[in-house]
Amino acid sequence: MIKDLQQRILKLKKEKDFCILAHSYMAQEIKEIADFTGDSYALAVKSKDVKQKNILMCGVRFMAETVKILAPEKTVYLSNPDAGCPMAEQMDKNLITVVKEQYPDYTVVAYINTTAALKTICDVCVTSSSAVEICKKLESDKILFIPDCNLGAFVEKQIPEKTFKLLNGGCPTHAKISEEQLLATMRKHPEAKVLVHPECKPLVVRHADYVGSTSGIINYAKESEDKEFIIGTEISIAEELQYLCPDKKFYPMSKDLICSNMKCTTLADVYNCLNGEFGEVIELDEEERLKAKHCIDEMIRLG
Ligand code: 13P
Ligand code: SF4
């Protein structure tokens, strides 16, 4: 049944000249029909050299906006218009304009999980895989890091020579995980290495053997000689790793680590979108796009 639908999607994709990009948190059956899967940094970079006329983003809204910012000549679709990222909507342009006035000499570093509108007033974007490297390379030693205070705290710890101002935003899915939950999982699997996404709370991150983006976690586990891992990010990564490395064991840090926003996109949505019956075409005002592009270009230049 799933295979039939996947076959029809692959046929339509070719006929209608689509490239499908899927974030690593998508369901396995979607990742199987995608042209490219990866973390948010890899997806952004990839969108610059897609050959097809149309791009279908299976992920959340800020990811589709990033593709449109970098590939304006393509028709970019978000496969499910309800797929937003709550963190990206926590802070808007008005709020950050006011905060910037209070910290006029700070460089504004925006996690890529922000709206295109907010990116227009930021200096540089980062992703979880590039944040430390980019903040280190910035000339400024004063950084206003938005919106994720957990990622910000992780970066701050790696760069003690710089001054950080963090705001109170973050990912509701990763922030749900408590230190107690992690310790309970560690007690059950005492041999397992702990791999954690930096969107988790510092009290969780401090127990990690490795901290990195979704792709970073996947690569670390694939290349490691260890055999057991506790995976501290969205549950789909533990699932994918179990497919990729059948001789190893992967335990989700908690069964609650499900991003309902990423999971609202289904294989049927992808099919209906290719058929022109669902999905949303991403449109951005050209002036806004160019301003937002500046901080993504800076991310790619420094990353
Ligand atoms: P990555 O940068 O690891 O892809 O993370 C994106 C995201 O939304 C994690 O919650
Ligand atoms: Fe947003 Fe968190 Fe979901 Fe990532 S996991 S898309 S940050 S809500």
Name the helix (H) or strand (E) containing 172: helix 172-175
Distance, in Å, from the CA atom of 164 to the CA atom of 132, rounded to the nearest integer, reads: 12
Confidence (pLDDT) at 256: 87
173 Cα to the center of ligand 2, angstroms: 6
- What percentage of the chain has pLDDT greater than the value 70? 100
- Arithmetic mean of pLDDT, 89-117: 98
pLDDT at 280: 98
Query: What is the end-to-end Cα distance of the chain in Å, rounded?
Result: 42
Report the residue among 25, 200, 201, 261 best suited for mutation to probe ligand 2: largest number of ligand atoms under 8 A from its CB.
261
**Structure confidence by residue, pLDDT tens digits, 47-99:** 999 999 999 999 999 999 999 999 999 999 999 999 999 999 999 999 999 99
> Looking at this protein, which amino acid is placed at residue 183?
L
Q: Give ligand 1 pocket residues (Cβ under 6 A).
A: 39-41, 113, 127-129, 171, 199, 213-214
- Whether 2-84+262-285 shares its CATH topology with 87-170+289-302 is answered yes
Residue with the two structure tokens 């996109």: 265
Q: Specify the fold of 87-170+289-302.
A: Rossmann fold (3.40.50)
Give residue 285's pLDDT: 97
Distance (Å) from CA 189 to ligand 1 centroid? 25
Query: Any residues with CB less than 8 A from the CB of 14 and at least 6 apart, and which?
Result: none
Return d(Cα 10, Cα 286) in angstroms, integer.
32
Ligand 2 test: best mutation among 89, 171, 214, most atoms within 8 Å of CB? 171
Atom of ligand 2 nearest to the CA of 59: 6
| CATH number among 2.40.420.20, 3.60.21.10, 3.30.70.270, 3.40.50.10800, domain 2-84+262-285 | 3.40.50.10800
**pLDDT tens digit sequence for 235-287:** 999 999 999 999 999 999 998 899 999 999 999 999 999 999 999 999 999 99
Q: What local confidence, expressed as pLDDT, does residue 81 receive?
A: 97
234/59 Cα distance (integer angstroms): 13
Which atom of ligand 1 is nearest to 215's Cα?
3
Pairing of strands 54-58, 36-38: unpaired
| Residue bearing the CA closest to ligand 1, atom 4 | 39
Q: State yes or no: pLDDT of 226 exceeds 90.
A: yes
Whether residue 11 is predicted with pLDDT greater than 90 in this model: the reply is yes
* Mutate-to-test residue for ligand 2 from 87, 90, 129, 254, highest number of ligand atoms within 8 A of CB: 87
Average pLDDT over every residue of 113-127: 98
Q: Whose CA is nearest to atom 3 of ligand 2?
A: 259
Query: Whose atoms come closest to the Cα of 42: which ligand?
Result: 1
Listed by start position, the domains of the chain span 2-84+262-285, 87-170+289-302, 177-255
Q: pTM score > 0.85 for this model?
A: yes
The pLDDT of residue 27 is above 90: yes
Question: CB atoms < 10 A from the CB of 48, how many?
Answer: 11
CA-CA-CA-CA dihedral for 143, 149, 150, 156, to nearest 10: 20
Measured from the alpha carbon of residue 147, the closest ligand is 2
How far apart CA 61 and CA 77 sit, in angstroms, is 10
CA distance 111 to 29: 28
At residue 303, the pLDDT reads 87
CB 116 within 8 A of CB 65: yes
* CA atoms of 252 and 231, how far apart (whole Å): 5
Element (H, E) at 274: helix 267-274
Architecture of domain 177-255: 3-Layer(aba) Sandwich (3.40)
Question: Which atom in ligand 2 lies closest to the alpha carbon of residue 148?
Answer: 7
Ligand 2 centroid–CA 163 distance in Å is 26
Mean pLDDT of 174-182: 95
Which atom of ligand 1 is found nearest the CA of 259?
10
If we measure between CA atoms, which residue out of 249, 153, 250 comes closest to residue 206?
153
Average pLDDT taken over every residue of the chain: 97
